[in-house]
Structure 1
Amino acid sequence: MIPQYASALFISDLHLTPSMPLTAQRFFDFCEKDAPKVEAVFILGDLFEYWVGDDAALHSPFQQEVKRALATLSTKVKTYYLHGNRDFLLGAHFLSKTGMTLMHDPTKVSIAGNEYVLCHGDSLCTADIGYQVFRSWVRKSWIQSLFLKMPLHWRRAIANRLRSNSGMQYRRDKQTAPQGAQDKTDVTLAACSEILKNQSGNLLIHGHTHRPAHHQESLLDQEWQRWVLSDWDLDHPESLQPRASALLINQNGVRYTDLIKAG
């Protein structure tokens, strides 16, 4: 039996970190003011900038503050979590303390009478072959077990190095082939088609790409709709437009909610 609700909010890619206090504060406000207006909240990954183990959260006042906000939210509405590519190590201990329910990627839910397939979105970026190989390795349980046994400062150093390398690679690709870099980090029609066939659905919601939009798509005789969630960033107006939105689904349909104006 898939989860069924009359209304829901979907968010992803907040990349919460102490160095982005305005974004974090908007999330705390979201938990207190916006989220309780619906029956369920779905967080589709990358809530945190990175996650190197639940034990690390015990030493982080910031992550403890986020935990308290989520725990309070979970007493008001049903709250679901789906792993992203930055926080796939978020584990059972932290989830139990927040009251969130972990969902598999992909999964299907029913909102206001329609069924939607949910995923983080990184598995759909199949044109980036290097990333898919990396993803297949780091999702192996024995690799994760070895990593989590490392000293905490080693894990943090590895996470910071991976983030740095990823950013440099993207910037290099963008300089040498701007459109190619964009295509490489976006989802492919073939991947969307496959996931929807496997889930017997035609409505898809995901994050990861930071390109919020509603798409009407098709491949051969298959047609579907796809909604991409926004990332959040209220701390870097010098380089990017402030961004923070959620996808609202209720009896009135599907629409994006601008959380900057709402805040």
Structure 2
Amino acid sequence: MSVQCQSALLISDLHLTPSMPQTAQCFFDFCQKETGSVEAVFIMGDLFEYWLGDDANTGSPFQQEVRSALALLSTKVKLFYLHGNRDFLLGPDYLKKTGMTLLPDPSSVSIAGQDYILSHGDALCTADMGYQVFRKWTRKHWVQKLFLQFPLQWRRSIANQLRRNSALKYQRATRYASANRSLQMDVTTSACASLIEKHSIDRLIHGHTHMPNHHHEQLGDTRWQRWVLSDWDLDHPESVLPKASALLINEQGVRYLDLVK
């Protein structure tokens, strides 16, 4: 699929859940107020805290509100979606109901006359070899099909256990090996360089790492720019500063748009 547009907003890692109402409201405001001046919106993974299948939240008022916001947004702009590490089970039924177009990870797109590579970012964290093995297996179609055949209660139990294990791993790494943890949680230069060389495009945009920044990087003779999207969190002021931003690309260039009011 060839994707071209003259202007776009890109967001990632909102982790929407009913327990984070202020973050969710920021998303609803974004859909209603911030998207009117662009041709396309790219949601680059982890829109939800987790996704257990398109059948899992059909009766949830919160999920119905999110779905309605997406469906309305898709009537105003071109709306694209990339799977993240938490919502890779988001499937065709939900895409159809919301009007979103699923893009493979990675994808090359043209925005305002410039070519970019878009990725959620987790596949680029190649220093975390354990996660990469997990990612490889969970992206297999037959594994996903089998998981989606489990009763919903089983799926929730498995997902909760995986989240507990992930939180425990994070806590241990933070306490005992902060430098190694930072390396594992971030993308590697070699993975980015391989992606740049494969696509012959020197502009990369991704999320996942929760470390928003604009980088100029080089490995050997390969040079590129890399923009990292912010995660969103307006509900935990005791632990993090309120944060929510989008990357705006138009004929004026590329800039971060702060969405915290």
Into which bin does the TM-score normalised by the smaller protein fall?
A: over 0.9
Partner residue of 1:16? 16
SS in 1 for 2:41: strand
Partner residue of 1:197? 197
1:204-243 paired onto structure 2 within 5 Å: 204-243=204-243
Q: Is 2:78 the partner of 1:81? A: no
SS in 1 for 2:47: coil
CA deviations over 1:184-224 (Å, ceiling 9, x no partner): 11000010011111112100000000000000000000000
**Displacement after TM superposition at 1:138 (Å):** 0.5
Q: In 2, Cα distance between the equivalents of 1:244 and 1:250?
A: 20
Amino acid at match of 2:154: W
Partner residue of 1:122? 122
Point out 4+ residue stretches in structure 1 off by more than 6 angstroms: none
Name the stretch that deviates more: 157-166 or 235-244.
Answer: 157-166
Q: In 2, Cα distance between the equivalents of 1:12 and 1:142?
A: 27
Q: In 1, Cα distance between the equivalents of 2:64 and 2:207?
A: 25
Partner residue of 1:63? 63
Q: In 2, Cα distance between the equivalents of 1:118 and 1:150?
A: 32
**Displacement after TM superposition at 1:35 (Å):** 1.4
1:77-116 paired onto structure 2 within 5 Å: 77-116=77-116
CA deviations over 1:64-96 (Å, ceiling 9, x no partner): 111100000000001000000000000000000
Partner residue of 1:44? 44
Q: In 2, Cα distance between the equivalents of 1:58 and 1:196?
A: 40
Amino acid at match of 1:232: W
Partner residue of 1:34? 34
Alignment check: 8 A CA contact 1:217 1:224 kept: yes
Structure 1 residue ranges without an equivalent (≥5) = none
SS in 1 for 2:255: strand
Q: In 2, Cα distance between the equivalents of 1:61 and 1:161?
A: 25
Alignment check: 8 A CA contact 1:232 1:243 kept: yes
CA deviations over 1:36-72 (Å, ceiling 9, x no partner): 2210000000000000000012132211111100000
**Displacement after TM superposition at 1:159 (Å):** 0.9
Q: In 2, Cα distance between the equivalents of 1:171 and 1:198?
A: 35
SS in 1 for 2:27: helix
Name the stretch that deviates more: 116-125 or 189-198.
Answer: 189-198
Aligned length: 261
Amino acid at match of 1:67: R
Amino acid at match of 1:81: Y
Identity of aligned residues (%): 66
TM-score normalised over the length of structure 1: 0.98
Amino acid at match of 2:101: T
Partner residue of 1:152? 152
CA deviations over 1:92-146 (Å, ceiling 9, x no partner): 0000000010000000111111000000000000000000000001011111011
**Displacement after TM superposition at 1:172 (Å):** 0.2
Q: In 2, Cα distance between the equivalents of 1:47 and 1:28?
A: 12
SS in 2 for 1:116: strand
Partner residue of 2:259? 259
Alignment check: 8 A CA contact 1:36 1:73 kept: no
What is the alpha-carbon root mean square deviation over aligned residues?
0.8
Q: In 1, Cα distance between the equivalents of 2:84 and 2:195?
A: 17
Q: Is 2:258 the partner of 1:250? A: no
Q: In 2, Cα distance between the equivalents of 1:62 and 1:149?
A: 24
